[in-house]
Amino acid sequence: MKFVADLHVHTISSGHAYSTILEIVAAAAAKGLEMVAITDHGPAMPGAPCAYHFSNLAAVPPELSGVRLLKGIEANVIDRNGTLDLDNERLAKLDIVLAGLHTKCAPYGSVTENTAMMINTMKNPWVDVIVHPGNPEYPIDAEAVVQAAVEFDVALEVNNSSLTISRRGSKPRCEHIIRLAKQYGAKLIAGTDSHFALAVGELQQATELLEANGIGPEAVINTSLERIEKHLARRSNRRN
């Protein structure tokens, strides 16, 4: 499976990542990627940038070194209603919005509570992707989440970092979500969740898990610029 884009990448602005936009773009270009999304954490994460940072992403060119840049966010869910830590007015102006449950931001809860929180997040009209839904810190009813992802047309991420250096215990949960996504026809992406430029585009473990469960490139958004654009274009209908 070949990927044209990495849609989950952090810069030094996240406060716990270590590369600049220029370093990330250079790594993406060297690996033959056509697109990369800059998705720093929202303001609720300790060390993350303020809300104005995301408004000022307009200062970043849309393309560098032949690599298209999506200006986005990995927004943090901050309550059980699925509220995000950036207002909808700013979210609407970003190219891509990832959202996820993170320690220090989202409350822990039961399977029922976590599932409701994740589904409530999907109801936000600007959310494009739910990241690392297999995180064992927030156990969920995976079938209900996948069905909601189809209903609200939100993609679910297979997070390569969860399969390597973070969120231990994620693999069986990710595999379960992948199988359900195949059953119900949910959209998937593979993301590195890179916090250092050399990890950009490194999706081997996610690829292996997807392919082992019979997922072809047609079911994974970031294997095609056309699929990415089509998924993100559905946001335009929500501005009317």
Tokens 């089509």 belong to residue: 230
Q: Where are the domains of the chain?
A: 5-12+40-239
Predicted confidence (pLDDT) per residue in 159-175, tens digit = 999 999 988 899 999 99
Mean of per-residue pLDDT scores for the chain: 96
Q: Mean pLDDT across the stretch 15-27? A: 98
Contact call for residues 111 and 141 (beta carbons, < 8 A):
yes
Contacts (Cβ under 8 Å, ≥6 apart) of 40? 10, 11, 13, 14, 17, 48, 49, 53, 73, 74
Rg (CA), the chain: 16
The strand pair at 35-41 and 5-9 is best described as parallel
pLDDT(238) > 80: no
Handedness of CA 129, 134, 137, 139 (dihedral sign): positive
Burial of 113 (0-12, 13-18, 19+ CB in 10 A): middle
Question: Token pair for residue 170?
Answer: 């994620």
% of the chain at pLDDT higher than 70:
98
pLDDT(196) > 70: yes
Q: What is the pLDDT of residue 27?
A: 98
Q: What is the pLDDT of residue 235?
A: 80
Predicted confidence (pLDDT) per residue in 100-121, tens digit = 999 999 999 999 999 999 999 9
Question: Token pair for residue 72?
Answer: 């986005």
pLDDT(239) > 70: no
5-12+40-239 adopts what CATH topology?
TIM Barrel (3.20.20)
% of the chain at pLDDT higher than 90:
96
Q: What is the pLDDT of residue 240?
A: 45
Contacts (Cβ under 8 Å, ≥6 apart) of 24? 9, 11, 36, 38, 194, 197, 200
Global confidence as pTM: 0.97
Q: Angle of helix 142-152 relative to helix 111-122, nearest 10 degrees?
A: 10
pLDDT(150) > 70: yes
Predicted confidence (pLDDT) per residue in 31-58, tens digit = 999 999 999 999 999 999 999 999 999 9
Q: What is the pLDDT of residue 166?
A: 87
Q: What is the pLDDT of residue 237?
A: 63
